[in-house]
Structure 1
């Protein structure tokens, strides 16, 4: 499927570099009113007219995207739980009809979008949204979401960042196996067999190139074994943030723009776009080096994928279970040695080019606890570090770095709260888990009481201030915040 820059080569560049819209995502999400060929023909002729108006041309030939919940009016007399439950229909999109020339990848079943400027499904967001759908009893939608992701694996070869053509070159944190596990808890263990081939293809995507490690992909050879990194198959500016990427490249002293674009895209695959986790120089985004880093969270999630494959094949008396048990055991061993910082006694990301830890402790250290792969001593040490250094009045902060990036201090995000709480509970740290969950729930309810909204991210340090950072304004809606709120509200109420 062609991307917007391939469909409209000249028009795309002119619109994005001409700042026709405040948000670079607007044009790439627009839907053509007439065939692509006709638009290009008209543009090539009309742009030569001295009175030509580029924005008007776009408005005449494209339907622009609407904010996804722009018509929703919040009723602040409702309790927060009732508010979230009332939001689900407004965040629901029906099965798509394919439109030739649109960037949207049509999905065969209804789905949930995050809200705001995000009018498509997002991979890792959806797992945390499902947690709330589960609490709301919307089991059918959970099934639909899993089916949609299975469809993307079958048709695209992997789950893209989101269902847009310009997202196909990258994925997001691999939560599909955990989605299948959640659905199996609802519908029964036969679910694992139903999606076994898609789970294998998901694993193959992340392990592609293992036969030839010199190939630049997502597998990295590290002494006695392999671990994974985030990557993107493309090294040009992001379609949806075209001008932002070009402007950053123009500030560089070196001419290695392609590496910059690749590392920006790899950070987007991580979901943490952006954070000092990925920077050599914490004050300078131009030092981004995401593709050099072995991330704790990615590898813990791949351990989950391999473990779930092993267990599902074992239940089916399938001999492939032994292979995946071996892969999971080997990955666990490498994570617990290579990614364990013995000085700080925590898990850290590892820069395999510089052969050293990145020295940016982050909430990602909780993922091995979430994956149940740490020893009890390791888990206790991680718990102590998080409670001492990352816990804030409103919950868990991403990192302790104040960079202005949205995945750094003072911001907290719903998925990280869930990962920490679930990780703590896996090791019996119930008091600490309840403390984190209670702080986050209170913050969510406080912001809702004052604004009538659930938002994408929260300031967990100053509870009176809105979260900031990032390439766009704070979005409301918001899928994963709704989902984690409902799940943690249930947890603290028990």
Structure 2
């Protein structure tokens, strides 16, 4: 008990010190750091005018448009417009200006069909249910609709675009997400200039491991350690011990362990350009209530309160976490204005770090580099020790996010709470039936196994999209994988049951709309999820991938659910009703 208390105290102290260092951007004033250096796409008078005029419902639309002229010329034209007395708060005025100076979003892309795409993947032959097999084939066809190639003009004239150029074709998620997400080298959130100061959860190493395993090691010798060491870790997580995050091995020394835990931290103080409406509206309302000062938020009157730069940094950090937005990051008031993402040491981020280090240890060993393998394995063991010491709640029987400011666990259900079961990032790395049985009991106690559409992201009704009742494909995938690998039979059966439920909601919605969606409502088990700063998106890359994976893993036992008349497209149903009404009326006459 004494060792645990010392560990928690030193971790708390280190986290607070490191948060201040990282939030200041290494000494630079946080309030001066925009999402990128572009005065068109990331900050400045034109961006604020377009977004504040609500020319588009989605803040991302404008910052994805291509400039027809150099940025300086466009800004001069805008200044002339203002000097001439034009009402730049008018959506019509700004719409006319944009039509003159910008091309529509997506104009920098060409449709591309993957060259290695095959008409019928072998794994679909193992799917027993003919309806699911046919559906899997339809989903497989969607990859062709999501293939894109960036036009050479982006390479030749990058100053006219927010898109980041890469020479090879990519698969995009779909809908408003027109760009690629994740790449080699330094890994930003996605392929736009306004994403370059934040990353995403560090799973690149795991993707690389899976790819190399599928190719039977034949490409291992062509990789350099600079590529293998997942540069995303450099940006996605900040060591609470304030050591160089690129090394991700520094420890907070204690009398009994070497715990190292991470939290995300993005150094930017400006509203996210692609989420401008939500972020600025909340900041403005918070200023009105006296919760934020107005000295670095260009929208409202002055009032005393917390630093708005930290607010916008917390918003950007929530985006980097992958959970944008969720009650996970909210403070005591429980709403968006209290967002404190950098205070939280998240379970999932630390599990991903542990899994990445384990993957690198395995790759090193298979390459014959025992010294490097031992170094990574030592990091894995330190991470497991820290996860056990700080994030495990013996009272709840599960791992919980830890608030480094309050020194308390976040005692609410989030699907990420069970992620240490994924690759057994706890204890000595050997799955323990007693621990995993308690985790199953926790899931039952929280009543999150009762929904027809799978496991909810949380049980909090916040109105944010990473909360109840939404179910997200990557979350379902990780929950299922975590339970499927358990030595507890009940956990493995739950994994199969959840796979069937997730297939059901996707199958029924596809029957209704002929589309795959980025998220779904687990409570109804029917329609796409809602909430958040934009409408639910059609596409959708990770939805397709997760369903195809489940068909591959469980296709021998999964069955297509019955599709009721409610699955008939709405317009067809209305036409049918009107036709029947006319027929009845005719008969009566």
* 1:361 alignment partner in structure 2: 413
1:451 paired with 2:513, answer yes
Report how far residue 370 of structure 1 moved: 1.3
Decide whether the 8 Å contact of 1:8 with 1:40 is kept in 2.
no
After superposition, residues 319-334 of structure 1 pair within 5 angstroms as 319-334=371-386
Report how far residue 387 of structure 1 moved: 4.5
SS of aligned partner of 1:94: strand
Decide whether the 8 Å contact of 1:264 with 1:290 is kept in 2.
yes
* 1:472 alignment partner in structure 2: 534
- Aligned match for 1:199, one of 218, 228, 236: 228
Alpha-carbon distance between aligned partners in 2 of 1:436 and 1:89, rounded to the nearest angstrom: 28
- Residues 101-138 of structure 1, C-alpha deviations (whole Å, 9 max, x = no match): 21111112111111111111123xxxxxxxxxxxxxxx
- Aligned match for 1:55, one of 85, 95, 98: 95
Alpha-carbon distance between aligned partners in 2 of 1:170 and 1:81, rounded to the nearest angstrom: 34
Decide whether the 8 Å contact of 1:68 with 1:119 is kept in 2.
no
- Residues 313-341 of structure 1, C-alpha deviations (whole Å, 9 max, x = no match): 22223222221111111001111221101
- Aligned match for 2:438, one of 378, 381, 389: 381
1:275 paired with 2:326, answer yes
- Aligned match for 1:30, one of 61, 65, 70: 65
After superposition, residues 5-154 of structure 1 pair within 5 angstroms as 5=40, 9-50=44-85, 53-66=93-106, 79-97=134-152, 98=155, 99-123=158-182, 149-150=183-184, 153=185
Decide whether the 8 Å contact of 1:236 with 1:261 is kept in 2.
yes
- Aligned match for 1:237, one of 271, 274, 282: 271
Decide whether the 8 Å contact of 2:240 with 2:262 is kept in 1.
no
Task: Tell me: CA distance 1:190–1:34, structure 2 relative to 1, closer, same or farther (3 Å).
Answer: same
Decide whether the 8 Å contact of 1:267 with 1:274 is kept in 2.
yes
* 2:448 alignment partner in structure 1: 390
Decide whether the 8 Å contact of 1:350 with 1:356 is kept in 2.
yes
Q: TM-score by structure 2 length?
A: 0.72
Alpha-carbon distance between aligned partners in 2 of 1:340 and 1:183, rounded to the nearest angstrom: 32
Alpha-carbon distance between aligned partners in 2 of 1:57 and 1:21, rounded to the nearest angstrom: 13
Report how far residue 95 of structure 1 moved: 4.2
Alpha-carbon distance between aligned partners in 2 of 1:231 and 1:94, rounded to the nearest angstrom: 32
Q: Which runs of 5+ in 1 are unaligned?
A: 124-148
Query: Which moves more between the two structures, 281-290 or 407-416?
Result: 281-290
- Aligned match for 2:398, one of 331, 346, 350: 346
Decide whether the 8 Å contact of 1:307 with 1:324 is kept in 2.
yes
Q: What is the count of residue pairs matched by the alignment?
A: 457
Task: Tell me: CA distance 1:437–1:282, structure 2 relative to 1, closer, same or farther (3 Å).
Answer: farther
- Aligned match for 1:437, one of 493, 499, 519: 499
Alpha-carbon distance between aligned partners in 2 of 1:8 and 1:367, rounded to the nearest angstrom: 37
- Residues 388-444 of structure 1, C-alpha deviations (whole Å, 9 max, x = no match): 522221111111111111111111111111101111121143211100100100111
Report how far residue 78 of structure 1 moved: 10
- Residues 258-290 of structure 1, C-alpha deviations (whole Å, 9 max, x = no match): 111111111111111111111124741112111
- Residues 152-184 of structure 1, C-alpha deviations (whole Å, 9 max, x = no match): x2xxxx211111111111111111011101211
1:488 paired with 2:561, answer no
* 1:426 alignment partner in structure 2: 485
Decide whether the 8 Å contact of 1:196 with 1:309 is kept in 2.
no
Alpha-carbon distance between aligned partners in 2 of 1:462 and 1:181, rounded to the nearest angstrom: 36
Report how far residue 477 of structure 1 moved: 0.7
Alpha-carbon distance between aligned partners in 2 of 1:331 and 1:433, rounded to the nearest angstrom: 26
Alpha-carbon distance between aligned partners in 1 of 2:200 and 2:220, rounded to the nearest angstrom: 21
Task: Tell me: CA distance 1:437–1:222, structure 2 relative to 1, closer, same or farther (3 Å).
Answer: farther
* 1:293 alignment partner in structure 2: 344
SS of aligned partner of 1:326: helix
- Residues 189-224 of structure 1, C-alpha deviations (whole Å, 9 max, x = no match): 244451531232344445667774599x99995865
Decide whether the 8 Å contact of 2:41 with 2:273 is kept in 1.
no
Report how far residue 11 of structure 1 moved: 1.6
Report how far residue 380 of structure 1 moved: 2.1
Alpha-carbon distance between aligned partners in 1 of 2:392 and 2:403, rounded to the nearest angstrom: 13
SS of aligned partner of 2:424: coil
Report how far residue 343 of structure 1 moved: 0.8
- Residues 430-462 of structure 1, C-alpha deviations (whole Å, 9 max, x = no match): 211100100100111011111211111100111
* 2:216 alignment partner in structure 1: 188
Alpha-carbon distance between aligned partners in 2 of 1:117 and 1:171, rounded to the nearest angstrom: 19
SS of aligned partner of 1:119: coil
Alpha-carbon distance between aligned partners in 1 of 2:372 and 2:74, rounded to the nearest angstrom: 52
* 1:145 alignment partner in structure 2: none
Decide whether the 8 Å contact of 2:50 with 2:94 is kept in 1.
yes
* 2:37 alignment partner in structure 1: 2
Decide whether the 8 Å contact of 1:228 with 1:295 is kept in 2.
yes
The alignment yields a C-alpha RMSD, in angstroms, of 2.8
Q: TM-score by structure 1 length?
A: 0.86
Task: Tell me: CA distance 1:393–1:8, structure 2 relative to 1, closer, same or farther (3 Å).
Answer: closer
SS of aligned partner of 1:47: helix
- Aligned match for 1:161, one of 189, 202, 208: 189
Structure number with bigger Rg: 2
Decide whether the 8 Å contact of 1:390 with 1:398 is kept in 2.
no
Task: Tell me: CA distance 1:176–1:288, structure 2 relative to 1, closer, same or farther (3 Å).
Answer: same
1:312 paired with 2:363, answer yes
Alpha-carbon distance between aligned partners in 2 of 1:478 and 1:7, rounded to the nearest angstrom: 26
